[in-house]
Each structure stands twice: as structure tokens, then as C-alpha cells.
């Protein structure tokens, strides 16, 4: 680890001790308020009596909800909306120093904090539960929050996705528990000081920041060591990168997997019509039987992690079984947008090769004889460049693939010149896939409308705005 990386890590660890929680009546300005995490914290601060304002270049339902709650939001980031009455500015890791709103705040001498810092300050006041990992964070966080709410614990939660059954992506609860999705980018999760942690898996991602898997594993090791000694770390027992990361954990560790060598494991009893029925075992003793309504073996794993966490918290097995059996998932996670003329349209957030692969595998299990269209919008030029080969091999359970242009975020000019969607198209075509490259989302809707047939499945995938294709297509039908 070089000196600059050491400095980053040390700063993050120190930041966990930095109290940046705004007081009631304080004016807080969020730059990029429409982000899923930023909007969640904004909602909590509104409920706590703070005056919330912010800016975002893109409109969304999340922004509309915040405006209905009283937030004043500007669609420009030119510094003109920054009030002298602002007490604090919150920025996400994606906001660069040349952002005009941020420049204006610094010029005015307004206190600037990271999103992860304010999240850490909020968590310090309660019993923190932080869910980390390359994949599965949102669903696992949603499952844990749903179980705790079902059990009457009334947790506070900040989740990286809308969960309709529990009121959205954030809630200020009266209980003493705080559930937060913990992102590894920029080592953000080191700003949290949880009593309970989860690591779902560790893979190569965010290579624009970490450069290689060894540095990613080291960051997760720092996260593991941040769990309080009297707490619990719940980890995927069959992930070799996790095995390396947890060597520095100072707390009790419990593992989960499909293998009975783990502390928590399961036996799948049946899987039809998208339902997974499985028996859960804890330390070789039968725990309960669960029928999961969301498809995919990866979601069975998420359910095991949630059961382990909530058992440690003190939730009884009947509440865990009831909550998981009724769990309907988070938005943009295998979300059925509509069924029109016998055509099923599904939207999913998958933007990493592993996520695409397991989601399409779940779709194939659910619709074994159907014609599956996958509409994929790559997210970040840098991620596409680093994982090009992996992306090209991730679509095998689809019949036809439509590739949109790359959705840019945090990308440098170098990345935009070094990579383009045509390279991914060519790599994927060379694997034998039936793939089309259609840059514009509106044109994709037109092509789908003209070519899909009754019985077909259309899946939109990506972390950008590809979801618009799903909604526009359903509207057209």
C-alpha cells in the first residue's frame, strides 16, 4: 500500500469519530440529492426537522418525493442556488472538486461533509448494522429492515433502493437499530462504526479507485476490523477473498452458504414458478423453512445472511420466517414493470458481470422456455474497460441482447476515449450471442415494440437510466 492510499485509509478511520450530524432547524444542502443514498439521508434529516435543499442535474421520482416533503431542489449545479443561510453541504463520492455548487460552498466558507460521514454520524446514535459486499447489499439490507419492522423493532434504515413494503429507501425509526447499506467505493464504509456487519462477497469492481483486487480485499479487511468487539460479522463462507479480508476481524464471525460446513446453511427443497422453498440450519440444527417469493439462488444466500443478523439482534425465528416469506423485493431488483399482450417486462439494477449472469440465470429458471431479451446499458466507461471480457460472457442465458450506449459517471476524459460500447458489442458478438448495438434508449423502445412477441420476456439492466426503456415499452403496449 502506497503512502497516498494509507492516507486515505487513515482519514476515513478518523472520520468515523467526526460528528457532523446537523441539528434541528439547520439548513443542509445536498449536491446530487437525487442519488439513492443521498436522497435517503435527506429524507431522514427532513423528518428530524432540518431544512433540506439541494441540486441534481437529473429529475427522478426520488426528487419528486423530496419536493413533496418540502425540500427545495435546483436542476442546475452552477452555484446560484447556494444560500448564505446554508449550515452544511453534503456531497457524494461522485462529486468532483470542479463542481460549481461545491466551489461556491467552499468560497462561502460553508462546512462540507461527505455523505458517508453524515451517515456514520447518524449511525453512532443507534445500534448499527452495516451491509457490505460487491453484490447483494441492497436486497440484504431490505430483507433485514423488513424482518426488523415485522418484529416490531421500528428500525431506522438507509437502503440503496426503494422498498415499497417498508416505505421506500429510508425511514427514521423510534427503535435503537440503524440499518445501512455500506458502499466500498472511496472506502466510504470506513466512516461507519457498526456493531453488526455483513460481507456478501468481494469481487473486482470500482477499479477506477482501487486498481486491483488486493486493495479491495484490504479495504474490506479494514471494514471487518471496524465491527465492535461485542458484535457480529456475517460473511459468505465460500468466498476466498472474504476469507482473506476477515483475518483482521476482532469480533465473532458467522458464515453462511449452501454448504453444511458453514454456521448458517440451507437445503433447497423445491424451486418452481419463481418460488424457492428451503430449510435453514444454524450450527447443524434445523432453524426454519422459508418459501422465498423472489427468484434466484443468490437471493437465498441474501436471506441466510439476513436470518443470521436478525437472530443475533434477538428476533425470533417465526418473525424471520414470516418476513422473508412475504418479502417482495426492492425496486429495480428483478422488478416486474408490467405484463402487456403476453409480454413480461422486467427491470433490474445489474451492472456488473456477476450480477448480470446470476439475474439472467434466475430469469431462465423462472421462464425456461421463453424468449428472453436483455437490454443492457453499461455503467461507467472505466468499469466496462476493466471488465470487458467478463461482460461479454455474462449474457449466455438471454436469447437476444440489445446494447445501449455507456452511461457515464465519474469517468475521466481518458476513460471516455479508451473505451466505447462498440468494443463491448464486438466482444459479445464473438461469443456467439445475438446482439444489436442501439445507442439511444428511445430507439431501443421502437425496436422492441416492433419485434417482441407474446410470451417474450424483456429485461432492462444497468445502474443508469435504462429503466426508462421498461416503462416506455409498457406504456407503448
Q: Buried b / exposed e across 270-288, counting CB within 10 Å, b at 16+?
A: ebeebebbbebbbeeeebb
Q: In the sheet that 72-74 helps form, which strands lie side by side, from edge to edge? A: 72-74, 51-55, 27-31, 88-91, 111-114
Is residue 87 within 8 Å of residue 24, measured between CB atoms? no
The beta-strand segments (E) located in 392-450 are: 400-403, 435-437
Place of cell 502506497: 2
Is residue 145 within 8 Å of residue 159, measured between CB atoms? yes
Query: Which of the residues 86, 114, 156, 181 is marked catalytic?
Result: 181
Query: Which of the residues 86, 104, 138, 139 is marked catalytic?
Result: 138
Q: What SS3 state is found at 470? A: helix
CA–CA dist 294, 325 (Å, integer): 9
In sequence order, what are the residues at sequence separation of 6 or more whose Cβ sits closer than 8 angstroms to the Cβ of residue 474?
337, 338, 340, 345
Strands 177-181 and 127-132, sheet pairing: parallel
- For residue 138, indicate whether it is catalytic: yes
Closest CA to 242 of 165, 301, 290: 301
CA–CA dist 183, 116 (Å, integer): 9
In sequence order, what are the residues at sequence separation of 6 or more whose Cβ sits closer than 8 angstroms to the Cβ of residue 403?
376, 378, 421, 424, 425, 428, 435, 436, 437, 438
- For residue 460, indicate whether it is catalytic: no
Q: What SS3 state is found at 300? A: helix
Alpha helices in 131-239 (DSSP H): 137-150, 207-210, 213-226
Is residue 445 within 8 Å of residue 343, measured between CB atoms? no
The beta-strand segments (E) located in 411-471 are: 435-437, 457-461
Q: What SS3 state is found at 226? A: helix
C-alpha cell at 302: 441474501
Query: Which of the residues 114, 126, 137, 276 is marked catalytic?
Result: 137
In sequence order, what are the residues at sequence separation of 6 or more whose Cβ sits closer than 8 angstroms to the Cβ of residue 200?
131, 132, 133, 134, 135, 136, 137, 140, 236, 301, 302, 305
- For residue 409, indicate whether it is catalytic: no
C-alpha cell at 461: 439492466
Closest CA to 458 of 407, 297, 450, 469: 469
What residues act catalytically? 137-138, 181
Amino acid at each position: 500500500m502506497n503512502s497516498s492510499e494509507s492516507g486515505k485509509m487513515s482519514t476515513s478511520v478518523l472520520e468515523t469519530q467526526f460528528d457532523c450530524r446537523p441539528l434541528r432547524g439547520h439548513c443542509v444542502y445536498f449536491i446530487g440529492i437525487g442519488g439513492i443514498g443521498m436522497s435517503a439521508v435527506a429524507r431522514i434529516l427532513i423528518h428530524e426537522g432540518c431544512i433540506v435543499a439541494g441540486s441534481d442535474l437529473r429529475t427522478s421520482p426520488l426528487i419528486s418525493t423530496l419536493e413533496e416533503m418540502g425540500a427545495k431542489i435546483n436542476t442546475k449545479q452552477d452555484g446560484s442556488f447556494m444560500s448564505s443561510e446554508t449550515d452544511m453541504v453534503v456531497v457524494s463520492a461522485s462529486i468532483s472538486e470542479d463542481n460549481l455548487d461545491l466551489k461556491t460552498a467552499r468560497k462561502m466558507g460553508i462546512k462540507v461533509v461527505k455523505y458517508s460521514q453524515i451517515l456514520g454520524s447518524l449511525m453512532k446514535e443507534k445500534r448499527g448494522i452495516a451491509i457490505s459486499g460487491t453484490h447483494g447489499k441492497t436486497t440484504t439490507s431490505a430483507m433485514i429492515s423488513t424482518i426488523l419492522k415485522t418484529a416490531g423493532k421500528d428500525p431506522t434504515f438507509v437502503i440503496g433502493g426503494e422498498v415499497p413494503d417498508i416505505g421506500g429507501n429510508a425511514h427514521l425509526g423510534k427503535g435503537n437499530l440503524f440499518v445501512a447499506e455500506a458502499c466500498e467505493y472511496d472506502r466510504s464504509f470506513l466512516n461507519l462504526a457498526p456493531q453488526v456487519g455483513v460481507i456478501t462477497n468481494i469481487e473486482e469492481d470500482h477499479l477506477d479507485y482501487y486498481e486491483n483486487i488486493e486493495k479491495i480485499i484490504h479495504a474490506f479487511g479494514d471494514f471487518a476490523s471496524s465491527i465492535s468487539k461485542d458484535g457480529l460479522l456475517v460473511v459468505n463462507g465460500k468466498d476466498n477473498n472474504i476469507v482473506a479480508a476477515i483475518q483482521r476481524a476482532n469480533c465473532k464471525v458467522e458464515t453462511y452458504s449452501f454448504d453444511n460446513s458453514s454456521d448458517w446453511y440451507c437445503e433447497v427443497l423445491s424451486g418452481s414458478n419463481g418460488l424457492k422453498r428451503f430449510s435453514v440450519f444454524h450450527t447443524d440444527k434445523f432453524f426454519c423453512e422459508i418459501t422465498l417469493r423472489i427468484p434466484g439462488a443468490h437471493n437465498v444466500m441474501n436471506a441466510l445472511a439476513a436470518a443470521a443478523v436478525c437472530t443475533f439482534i434477538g428476533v425470533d425465528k417465526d418473525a424471520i420466517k414470516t418476513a422473508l416469506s412475504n418479502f417482495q423485493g426492492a425496486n429495480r431488483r428483478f422488478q416486474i414493470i408490467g405484463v402487456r399482450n403476453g409480454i413480461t417486462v422486467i427491470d433490474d439494477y445489474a451492472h456488473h458481470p456477476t450480477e448480470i449472469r446470476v439475474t439472467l440465470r434466475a430469469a431462465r429458471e423462472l421462464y425456461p422456455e421463453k424468449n428472453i431479451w436483455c437490454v443492457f446499458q453499461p455503467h461507467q466507461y472505466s468499469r466496462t474497460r476493466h471488465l470487458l471480457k467478463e461482460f461479454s460472457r455474462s449474457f449466455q442465458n438471454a436469447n437476444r441482447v440489445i446494447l445501449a450506449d455507456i452511461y457515464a459517471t465519474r469517468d475521466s476524459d481518458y476513460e471516455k476515449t479508451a473505451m466505447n460500447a462498440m468494443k463491448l458489442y464486438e466482444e459479445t458478438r464473438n461469443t456467439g450471442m445475438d446482439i444489436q448495438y442501439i445507442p439511444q434508449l428511445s430507439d431501443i423502445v421502437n425496436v422492441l415494440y416492433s419485434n417482441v412477441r407474446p410470451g417474450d420476456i424483456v429485461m432492462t439492466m444497468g445502474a443508469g437510466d435504462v429503466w426508462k426503456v421498461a416503462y416506455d415499452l409498457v406504456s407503448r403496449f
